[in-house]
């Protein structure tokens, strides 16, 4: 998201009057206010947000969804987003608790949106360990169940899952990302105003469920959101009925024709992508589409058709290296900018009246532009309960030191220097992923993990246990990156629901701690059940075999494309130049700045399947046309519609996963064929004995 230009400070009463006038104009342009609806309700204290009721509900839901997540990761390898189900289930379970105690005439605090946010944060943190802990991928890839021929690879390339080792490893790695990203929370959430679409949708859902009675405008938004929510959920389940075979369903609708669909340019009717497009600025969605066209429409066909100095069969690897290089370049540039602005602001505050202002945030060296009433109110609450940065930095240093000694004892294939390097680069990856996730809602943590697997595995060598070393090193990076991004997501939700950052942080830490215990226990039980059940071993090792195969192929130098390092350097330099040009043009207000694409969005679009940027672009087109036809209606209802689309599709994905767990099969298969293929199919069916009889 492009940062708005800063304004100079105005002095005296005239400056304050201009400021007030600017704020009134912003309030009028922003449309209906959410926080004015809740203005009559006091903001609870952190102790009123973290109650015995919220703790009990959080533990029950966190443990339950963690078991579900582990089962899904072992059986199918697919893990749907559980953030929105956590918020919904927390609301209904807590409301049932309240009604039960009301019937017993027991005194209790009212159930608020802040308490709902705390529950959702705890449950999401607990269940997300099933993904960031790599149970369905990295951990399985280390075991003998996923190996085809262990004699070739050697005994040092295997490590069977152990509950105590997994618990210790998760406690050492899962908190690193939170400590690393904490100093940048104010800059990402308030100064850059990153969208974090999933966190924003969850906040809209929670605000809608707690809207006070009698608020007409808010009631209309709630009605639209829930209509969209249930409609999207029904659409998701209805789509599943037509996926009864390979390449069946509406996931590959050839919106640009059959030939383009074969190259990946199709529309998958994902309501989540459309909802994210409704939230996202136009520049983000257009930049992602440009990156997708450049990668899948130009680069890949060129590599497949030609064969000169590169490997035409490894277009995917080229996409990954180019995209990750650009993401790191843009993220590193913004990280340095934030650090420089912080140092500059600290120096200026020593010699100016800024030291008397209570609400300053990281990276601000000028007065921020006028914001709406909602933004002012939310920033005030978010910055009021300060979370100090030095303890977070000290915690990361201490955790890194302990891990440098302890992790090699858990996985002897790694040495202390390997672990130290992993913890040295993890903050950079964590910041880059959080920044990109805030704009595009796409996490590239798996890609960072694959690069770390390649780096550490090659460093150790295949004969010295490079498979386990690479997988363990990659898991350190994945755990740090995922937990950092999850923390920024829930901070965004807390910001939009006026939840204390202290309460959000405590809930995130407690949920992560419970997840580090519950998930390994659930994994051990379910892993044993699957492995002891006849053909279950093949099922449980599906993703593990894939990750192990990728690791071995990379370590044997068979999977590396030629000149990949040179391509990384060129991509890094180009992305860094584009980021510098965008920053300079924004500072100096050059007109060319508005036409420059967003670097990190282009990078994400390079290695994403085109259907995702296409879906987001469709959402942007919808909201653009809506604003032209009814500007006030679009301003008031588009966030509610987007939240309903994202939340409904999230619950629909969970229902589809549940159907998969009970081994239900879709009854119908729908496929899209070209006219010539359809004629050949008709001729074949007409001549088959079954059709003639």
Confidence at 308, pLDDT banded by 50, 70, 90 = low
Give the whole-angstrom CA distance, residue 226 versus residue 654.
Answer: 18
In this structure, what token pair is assigned to residue 189? 């959430």
Give the whole-angstrom CA distance, residue 693 versus residue 691.
Answer: 5
What is the pLDDT, as a whole number, of residue 216?
54
State yes or no: pLDDT of 354 exceeds 50: no
Secondary structure (DSSP) of 203-241: HHHHHHHTPPTT-HHHHHHHHHHHHHHHHHHHHHHHHHT
Burial class (CB in 10 A: 0-12, 13-18, 19+), 298: exposed
Within 10 angstroms of residue 562's Cβ, the number of other Cβ atoms is 12
Which residues, at least 6 apart from 585, have a Cβ–Cβ distance to it below 8 Å?
592, 593, 596
Give the whole-angstrom CA distance, residue 432 versus residue 484.
Answer: 10
For the chain, what percent of residues have pLDDT higher than 90? Answer: 23
In this structure, what token pair is assigned to residue 209? 């469920």
- Nearest 5°: the CA angle 127, 130, 131 is 110
What is the pLDDT, as a whole number, of residue 365?
41
- Give yes or no for a contact between 287 and 604, defined as CB atoms under 8 angstroms apart: no
Residue showing tokens 């420059």: 596
Which whole-number Å values give the CA distances from 194 to 53, 111, 222, 333, 515, in the listed order? 32, 29, 24, 16, 27
Which residues, at least 6 apart from 83, have a Cβ–Cβ distance to it below 8 Å?
120, 124, 198, 199, 202, 489, 650
State yes or no: pLDDT of 257 exceeds 70: yes
Residues 643-671, mean pLDDT to the nearest whole number = 82
State yes or no: pLDDT of 453 exceeds 80: yes
Residues 225-240, mean pLDDT to the nearest whole number = 89
Which among 241, 236, 263 is positioned nearest to 252, based on CA atoms? 263
List, for residues 146-187, the tens digit of each pLDDT value.
765 544 556 788 888 889 999 999 999 999 999 999 988 888
What is the pLDDT, as a whole number, of residue 166?
94
What is the pLDDT, as a whole number, of residue 517?
94
What is the pLDDT, as a whole number, of residue 626?
93
Residues 616-628, mean pLDDT to the nearest whole number = 92
What is the pLDDT, as a whole number, of residue 9?
33
Confidence at 6, pLDDT banded by 50, 70, 90 = very low
SS3 243: strand
Burial class (CB in 10 A: 0-12, 13-18, 19+), 637: buried
DSSP annotation of 671 reads: -
List, for residues 97-125, the tens digit of each pLDDT value.
777 777 776 667 788 899 999 999 999 99
Largest Cα–Cα distance of the chain, in whole Å?
93
Compute the CA torsion angle 391, 393, 396, 402 (nearest 10 deg).
-70
List, for residues 405-425, the tens digit of each pLDDT value.
999 999 999 999 999 999 999
What is the pLDDT, as a whole number, of residue 520?
93
Give the whole-angstrom CA distance, residue 155 versus residue 573.
Answer: 42
SS3 40: coil
Which residues, at least 6 apart from 430, have a Cβ–Cβ distance to it below 8 Å?
177, 180, 181, 480, 481, 484, 485
- Give yes or no for a contact between 507 and 216, defined as CB atoms under 8 angstroms apart: no
What is the pLDDT, as a whole number, of residue 364?
41
Identify which has the larger pLDDT, 628 or 370: 628
What is the pLDDT, as a whole number, of residue 414?
92
Distance of CA 72 to the CA centre of its chain: 19
Q: How many residues does the chain have?
A: 693
Helix axes 466-496 and 197-209, enclosed angle (nearest 10): 40
What is the pLDDT, as a whole number, of residue 499?
92
CA atoms within 13 A on the CB side of 444: 36
List, for residues 198-214, the tens digit of each pLDDT value.
888 889 888 888 877 54
For the chain, what percent of residues have pLDDT higher than 70? Answer: 83
Give the whole-angstrom CA distance, residue 569 versus residue 572.
Answer: 5
Handedness of CA 656, 660, 665, 668 (dihedral sign): positive
State yes or no: pLDDT of 689 exceeds 90: no
- Give yes or no for a contact between 40 and 385, defined as CB atoms under 8 angstroms apart: no
Which among 592, 616, 594, 595 is positioned nearest to 605, based on CA atoms? 616
- Give yes or no for a contact between 116 and 210, defined as CB atoms under 8 angstroms apart: yes
- Give yes or no for a contact between 129 and 512, defined as CB atoms under 8 angstroms apart: yes
Identify which has the larger pLDDT, 514 or 25: 514
In this structure, what token pair is assigned to residue 293? 């066209």
Burial class (CB in 10 A: 0-12, 13-18, 19+), 688: exposed
Mean pLDDT of the chain: 80
Residue showing tokens 């492009």: 2
Query: Contacts for 656-662 with beta carbons within 8 Å, 24 or more apart?
Result: 656/80, 656/236, 656/237, 656/240, 657/72, 657/76, 657/78, 657/80, 659/240, 660/72, 660/75, 660/76, 661/71, 661/72, 661/75
Confidence at 306, pLDDT banded by 50, 70, 90 = low
Compute the CA torsion angle 387, 391, 396, 399 (nearest 10 deg).
-120
Give the whole-angstrom CA distance, residue 226 versus residue 218.
Answer: 12
Identify which has the larger pLDDT, 543 or 257: 257
Residues 582-602, mean pLDDT to the nearest whole number = 84
Burial readout 496-516 (b: 16 or more C-beta within 10 A, e: otherwise): bbbbbbbbbbbbbbbbbbbbb
What is the pLDDT, as a whole number, of residue 562?
74
Stretch among 17-26, 304-313, 447-456, 472-481 having the lowest mean pLDDT: 17-26
What is the pLDDT, as a whole number, of residue 215?
52
In this structure, what token pair is assigned to residue 474? 């990659």
Confidence at 140, pLDDT banded by 50, 70, 90 = confident
List, for residues 68-84, the tens digit of each pLDDT value.
888 877 766 666 677 77
Give the whole-angstrom CA distance, residue 172 versus residue 189.
Answer: 27
Confidence at 529, pLDDT banded by 50, 70, 90 = low
Helix spans in 541-630 (H) = 542-555, 564-587, 599-607, 611-629
DSSP annotation of 367 reads: B
CA atoms within 13 A on the CB side of 51: 19
Residues pairing with 243 in the sheet: 669
Confidence at 20, pLDDT banded by 50, 70, 90 = low
Stretch among 17-21, 136-140, 257-261 having the lowest mean pLDDT: 17-21
What is the pLDDT, as a whole number, of residue 3?
38
């Amino acid at each position: 998201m492009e940062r708005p230009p800063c304004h100079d400070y105005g002095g005296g009463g005239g400056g304050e009057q201009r400021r007030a006038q600017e704020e009134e104009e912003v309030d009028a342009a922003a449309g209906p206010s959410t926080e004015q609806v809740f203005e009559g309700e006091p903001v609870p204290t952190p102790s009123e947000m973290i109650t015995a009721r919220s703790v009990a509900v959080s533990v029950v839901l966190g443990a339950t969804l963690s078991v579900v997540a582990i089962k899904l990761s072992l059986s199918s390898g697919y893990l749907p987003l559980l953030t929105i189900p956590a918020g919904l289930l927390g609301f209904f379970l807590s409301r049932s608790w309240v009604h039960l105690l009301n019937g017993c005439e027991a005194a209790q605090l009212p159930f608020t949106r802040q308490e709902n946010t705390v529950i959702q944060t705890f449950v999401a943190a607990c269940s997300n360990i099933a993904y960031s802990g790599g149970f369905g991928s990295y951990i399985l890839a280390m075991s003998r169940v996923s190996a085809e021929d262990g004699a070739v690879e050697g005994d040092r390339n295997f490590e069977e899952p152990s509950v105590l080792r997994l618990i210790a490893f998760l406690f050492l790695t899962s908190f690193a990302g939170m400590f690393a990203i904490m100093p940048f929370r104010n800059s990402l959430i308030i100064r850059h105003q990153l969208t974090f679409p999933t966190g924003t949708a969850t906040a809209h859902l929670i605000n809608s469920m707690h809207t006070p009675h009698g608020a007409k405008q808010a009631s209309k938004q709630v009605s639209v959101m829930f209509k969209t929510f249930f409609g999207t959920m029904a659409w998701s389940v209805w789509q599943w009925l037509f996926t009864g075979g390979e390449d069946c369903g509406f996931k590959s609708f050839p919106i640009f024709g059959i030939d383009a669909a074969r190259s990946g340019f199709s529309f998958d009717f994902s309501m989540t992508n459309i909802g994210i497009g409704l939230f996202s600025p136009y520049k983000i969605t257009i930049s992602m589409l440009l990156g997708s066209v450049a990668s899948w429409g130009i680069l890949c066909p060129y590599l497949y058709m030609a064969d000169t100095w590169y490997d035409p069969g490894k277009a995917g690897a080229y996409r990954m290296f180019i995209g990750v290089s650009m993401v790191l370049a843009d993220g590193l540039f913004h990280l340095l900018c934030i650090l420089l602005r912080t140092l500059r602001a600290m120096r200026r505050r020593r010699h100016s009246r800024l030291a008397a202002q209570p609400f300053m945030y990281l990276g601000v060296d000028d007065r921020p532009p006028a914001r709406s009433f909602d933004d002012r109110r939310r920033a005030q609450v978010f910055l009021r309960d300060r979370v100090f940065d030095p303890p977070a930095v000290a915690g990361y240093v201490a955790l890194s030191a302990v891990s440098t000694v302890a992790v090699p004892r858990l996985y002897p294939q790694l040495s202390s220097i390997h672990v130290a390097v992993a913890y040295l680069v993890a903050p950079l990856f964590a910041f880059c992923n959080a920044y990109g996730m805030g704009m595009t809602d796409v996490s590239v943590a798996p890609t960072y993990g694959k690069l770390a697997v390649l780096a550490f595995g090659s460093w150790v060598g295949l004969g010295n246990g490079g498979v386990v070393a690479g997988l363990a090193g990659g898991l350190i990076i994945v755990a740090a990156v995922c937990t950092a991004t999850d923390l920024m997501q829930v901070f965004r939700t807390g910001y939009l629901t006026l939840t204390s950052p202290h309460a959000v942080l405590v809930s995130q830490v407690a949920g992560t701690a419970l997840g580090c215990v519950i998930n390994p226990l659930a994994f051990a039980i379910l892993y044993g059940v699957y492995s002891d059940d006849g053909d279950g071993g093949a099922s449980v090792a599906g993703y593990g075999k894939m990750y192990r195969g990728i690791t071995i192929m990379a370590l044997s130098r068979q999977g590396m494309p030629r000149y990949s390092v040179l391509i990384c350097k060129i991509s890094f330099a180009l992305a860094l130049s584009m980021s510098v040009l965008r920053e300079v043009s924004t500072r100096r207000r050059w007109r060319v700045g508005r036409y420059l694409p967003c670097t990190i969005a282009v990078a994400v679009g390079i290695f994403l399947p085109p259907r995702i940027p296409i879906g987001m672009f469709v959402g942007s087109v919808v909201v653009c046309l809506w604003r032209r036809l009814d500007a006030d209606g679009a301003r008031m209802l588009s966030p509610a519609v987007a939240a309903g689309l994202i939340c409904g599709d999230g619950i629909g994905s969970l229902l589809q996963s549940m159907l998969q767990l009970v081994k239900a099969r879709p009854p119908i298969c729908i496929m899209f064929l070209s006219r010539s293929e359809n004629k050949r199919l008709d001729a074949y069916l007409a001549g088959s004995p079954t059709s003639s009889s």
